[in-house]
Amino acid sequence: MKRYSFPAIILLCISIAWVGNSFAQRILSIGTNPTGSSYHIIGVGISTIVEKYTPIRIKVVPYDAAHAWMPLMPKGQIDLGVASNWNAQKGYLGESMYKDLSKGKGFPVRLVFISVPNMIGAIVAGSSSIHSIADLKGKRVAGPIPNVAMQLQTECILANGGLKWSDVKPAPAKSPPEGVKLIIEGRADAAMVALGTPVIEELQAKKGARFLSLDPSPQAVERTKSVYPGYPVKVLPGPAKTGIERETYLWAFDNYIVARAELEDDVVYQLTKALFEHCDELSAFHVGLKDLKPSMFVSLEALIPYHPGAVKLYKEKGLWTKEMEALQKRLLSVKKD
């Protein structure tokens, strides 16, 4: 039997203790949009809950948008991120603005869970004679917007009404909130904006605010989806729904929480489990998260493959169906990281 000296035994014990505590000492980083944005607030909520129920620590790091933090994932400088479904898909495939950023290869990004969607639509002043998307033809519409994703959101709403950007009069704006301000100032007739954006309250106070309902017909939905991924949702008047005067259809697109593909499966499993079992606590950070349910975490509408660590949990919870497995294989077959 091999004997160890006393110093060797001490060193061995220290090594074992270090390995046992390495998981507890793990610090991750999550990339979000700028401080104050809904994506940053979601990141803060995720960090708080994961730290409360696991030994994992998460640092929230704000950037301009997903295109700024996603290139840092292959380097291990960013572990998690909050992004729209469009940014996640284009980043994964290496398309649009991500083509040059990834040299056409795409980034090794994986889905952890799907959060509540953003709901966008065209808004006009309350007294406006515009009552449908098709009525925007020849009218002043806020844009183009420098951000590619946001500009496509504008174009997908126009497409719903059978219109293109060339069918309207541009009213240059740097962002959706700035577009709404153009309506307030009388320099635009309509703007595309997300339900719940604070500037809508200003429009309501000064001119009244009214969202135009989308056409939910299959043909119109297909036109909309061909420009920007999402789905129509019926919204009824109620608290925090300024601009919704009656039953109105808006365009919804999912928000993703993603992880770099090489992040350890067990780490992703632990943080996903904590968020799955305590997602109701996220509503304390943003009112829009009050409708988040664990059943929403997994969807056949997913545009990028799930992380294996998350898949493990969803199998345990009975949410990973044969259809989900088929979707996962199809998404993984599109490219190799």
In terms of Cβ atoms closer than 10 Å to its own Cβ (0-12, 13-18, 19+), residue 182 is buried
Judge whether 97 lies within some domain.
Answer: yes
Examine the domain organization and report whether 95 and 22 are in the same domain. Answer: yes
Tell me what pLDDT residue 34 has: 84
| pLDDT more than 90, % of the chain | 79
pTM equals 0.80
Contact between residue 50 and residue 56 where contact means Cβ atoms under 8 Å apart: yes
**For the chain, how many structural domains are there in total?**
2
Least confident of 110-114, 193-197, 235-239: 193-197
Indicate whether 104 pLDDT > 70: yes
Host domain of residue 64: 14-116+254-333
Judge whether 171 lies within some domain.
Answer: yes
Tell me what pLDDT residue 41 has: 87
Indicate whether 64 pLDDT > 90: no
Confidence band, pLDDT 50/70/90 cuts, at residue 288: confident
Contact between residue 254 and residue 87 where contact means Cβ atoms under 8 Å apart: no
Judge whether 176 lies within some domain.
Answer: yes
User: CB neighbours of 234 closer than 8 A, spacing ≥ 6?
Assistant: 216, 247, 248, 249
Average pLDDT, the chain: 91
DSSP state of 296: G
Examine the domain organization and report whether 237 and 282 are in the same domain. Answer: no
**Spatial CA neighbour of 269 closest among 109, 114, 50:** 50
Residues 146 and 143: their CA atoms lie apart, in Å, by: 8
Q: Compute CA distances 238 → 109, 126, 177, 235, 241, whole Å.
A: 37, 17, 21, 9, 6
Judge whether 103 lies within some domain.
Answer: yes
Examine the domain organization and report whether 263 and 246 are in the same domain. Answer: no
pLDDT digit string (tens) for 262-282? 999 999 999 999 999 999 999
- The three-state secondary structure class of 30 is strand
Contact between residue 102 and residue 286 where contact means Cβ atoms under 8 Å apart: no
Judge whether 71 lies within some domain.
Answer: yes
pLDDT digit string (tens) for 293-319? 999 999 999 999 999 999 999 999 999
